């Protein structure tokens, strides 16, 4: 399967572990001073290669937001580094002499912004992102009937892999895999770019303000947050986020970014260690949003510390250039609905599948996918006439683990939610799952939908994936719906 990234998800785990056990001490060395933006927006639009990935992982994506809290399920990752022919790992956030190596991720300062992505030329040759190799070698870039199809997407993650895509191409975008079936042209869907119309084709893109923006920002506390380590995520932004300021002792102070997770900041109370907070937010242009509106809120009950990955809080507002808004954060995130019209029928030439090799020195212990996709496809139950069915397919494997995808298919009637169960037979364990929540009882695994992918129309599908440890054998999955 070509064009796929399996990237290391270290941001969320680092954020959840920033509080020293039993001491409530924040490890500040992973925090980035706000206002350190060095990259400027590129001329619009720019063109780069495209790849795809399955989901943000758990508990957070690179911007410090859980996937289910995003304003849209059409999201992208930007490059951490701009280091042509240099595939080394450099500590994040980039500081000192390493700032010159900064990619469009911009140390997280482009998080929460929107991009308008347009399908561009197809590659008729080999376009595998191999280090030190040309893009689209032994072929050419060719226009086809998919050119010009567009989709608005949000920046939610980062790509720091040691391959040509993430290092040699400054305008590369890593796209959410389900979004590859949601591009439209002249008001109609062009169908899925997978499997025959992708080949890491060129895309053109530019930053845009949030489409049809309404309401106000959302604020949530991260896992582990408490009065002495109030880590928050700020989202639902009209034009990105450049920094957060907090009122402490009557003085406005600049908050530190939580690592390079651009929507997450470490604030303090109105008095040091207090559980009442006031913040102001600056957008990507370093302008106070809403004329300097002040957002006042408290630490939610039970957050001592917060046990959930994201605990939403309500707030009141004061000041600013427009009328105060009270508790605007209760609305549900906007989700994208796949279009079901017929796909375009042009048939570009395809090349042999390849698999990219992610950075092996990133600060996590789990091993990335480095080997070619395996060919075995575990057998699962057949589609049912009602209810739902599920199939498990192994994508790639390595010495001590594997990556798998699960497809849930509704039967002849629509369903509101689904749960998939299976039993490992070879001592396998799950290390990470995305687009679903799960529990394990020994070898028995139970995975259930998250907020944005439980409701399916008749015959519609949803996908989720996981990284596992061990050597997988075929498993049969059962699906239960309501």
Q: What is the pLDDT of residues 263-275, one digit of tens each?
A: 999 999 999 889 9
pLDDT tens column, 410-438: 998 888 889 999 999 888 888 778 788 88
Can you tell me the distance from the alpha carbon of 6 to that of 357, in angstroms, rounded to the nearest whole number? Answer: 8
pTM for the structure as a whole: 0.66
pLDDT at 284 over 80: yes
The pLDDT-based confidence of 369 (bands split at 50, 70, 90) is very low
Which is nearest to 458 in space by CA: 419, 411, 388? 411
Give 100 or 382, the one with higher predicted confidence: 100
Which is nearest to 426 in space by CA: 460, 378, 388? 378
> In the CATH hierarchy, which top-level class contains the domain 388-481?
mainly beta
Would you call 16 helix, strand, or coil by DSSP? helix
Segment 361-369 shows an average pLDDT of 33
Segment 329-356 shows an average pLDDT of 36
Q: Strand pairing partners for 423?
A: 444
Check residue 322 and give its pLDDT. 56
Check residue 38 and give its pLDDT. 59
The pLDDT-based confidence of 442 (bands split at 50, 70, 90) is confident
The residue to which tokens 């020293």 are assigned? 20
For residue 412, give Cα distances in angstroms to 182, 409, 418, 479.
23, 10, 15, 14
pLDDT at 363 over 60: no
Q: Residue 177: is it exposed, middle or buried by C-beta count within 10 angstroms (0-12/13-18/19+)?
A: buried
Check residue 180 and give its pLDDT. 97
197's tokens: 């119309």
How far from the centroid of its chain's Cα atoms is residue 306's Cα? 22
- Residue intervals in the chain for CATH 2.60.40.290: 388-481
pLDDT at 327 over 90: no
195's tokens: 């499997």
Can you tell me the distance from the alpha carbon of 430 to that of 454, in angstroms, rounded to the nearest whole number? Answer: 21
Check residue 374 and give its pLDDT. 34
Can you tell me the distance from the alpha carbon of 156 to that of 276, in angstroms, rounded to the nearest whole number? Answer: 28
- CB neighbour list of residue 148: distance below 8 Å, 6 or more residues apart: 118, 119, 185
Give 137 or 327, the one with higher predicted confidence: 137
């Amino acid at each position: 399967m070509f064009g796929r990234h399996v990237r290391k998800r270290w941001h969320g785990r680092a954020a959840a572990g920033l509080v020293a056990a039993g001491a409530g001490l924040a490890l500040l060395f992973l925090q980035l001073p706000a206002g350190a933006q060095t990259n400027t927006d590129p001329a619009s639009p720019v063109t780069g290669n495209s790849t795809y990935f399955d989901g943000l992982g758990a508990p957070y994506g690179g911007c410090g937001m859980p996937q289910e809290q995003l304003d849209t399920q059409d999201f992208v990752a930007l490059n951490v580094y701009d280091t042509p022919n240099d595939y080394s790992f450099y500590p994040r956030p980039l500081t000192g002499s390493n700032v010159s190596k900064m990619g469009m991720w911009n140390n997280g300062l482009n998080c929460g912004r929107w991009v308008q992505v347009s399908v561009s030329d197809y590659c008729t040759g080999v376009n595998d992102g191999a280090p030190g190799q040309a893009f689209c070698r032994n072929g050419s870039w060719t226009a086809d009937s998919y050119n010009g199809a567009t989709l608005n997407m949000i920046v939610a993650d980062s790509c720091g892999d040691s391959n040509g895509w993430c290092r040699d191409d400054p305008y590369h975008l890593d796209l959410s895999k389900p979004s590859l079936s949601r591009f439209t042209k002249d008001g109609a869907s062009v169908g899925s770019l997978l499997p025959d119309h992708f080949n890491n084709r060129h895309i053109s893109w530019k930053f845009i303000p949030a489409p049809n923006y309404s309401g106000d920002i959302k604020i949530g506390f991260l896992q582990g947050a408490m009065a002495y380590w109030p880590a928050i995520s700020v989202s639902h932004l009209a034009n990105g986020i450049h920094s957060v300021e907090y009122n402490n002792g009557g003085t406005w102070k600049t908050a530190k970014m939580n690592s390079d997770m651009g929507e997450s900041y470490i604030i303090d109370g109105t008095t040091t260690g207090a559980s009442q907070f006031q913040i102001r937010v600056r957008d990507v242009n370093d302008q106070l949003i809403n004329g300097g509106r002040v957002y006042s809120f408290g630490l939610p009950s039970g957050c001592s510390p917060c046990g959930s990955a994201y605990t939403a809080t309500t707030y009141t507002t004061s000041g600013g250039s427009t009328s105060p808004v009270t508790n605007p954060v209760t609305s549900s995130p906007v989700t994208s609905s796949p279009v079901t019209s017929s796909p375009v029928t042009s048939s570009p030439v395809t090349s042999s599948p390849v698999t990219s090799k992610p950075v092996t020195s990133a600060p996590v212990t789990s091993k990335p996918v480095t080997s070619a996709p395996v060919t075995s496809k575990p057998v699962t139950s057949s589609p049912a006439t009602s209810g739902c069915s599920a199939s498990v397919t192994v994508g790639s494997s390595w010495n001590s683990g594997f990556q798998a995808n699960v497809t849930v298919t509704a039967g002849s009637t629509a369903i509101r939610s689904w749960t998939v169960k299976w039993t490992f037979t070879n001592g396998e364990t799950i290390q990470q799952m995305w687009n679903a929540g799960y529990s394990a009882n020994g070898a028995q695994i139970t995975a259930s939908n998250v907020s944005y992918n439980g409701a399916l129309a008749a015959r519609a599908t949803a996908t989720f994936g996981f990284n596992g440890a061990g050597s997988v054998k075929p498993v049969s999955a059962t699906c239960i719906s309501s």
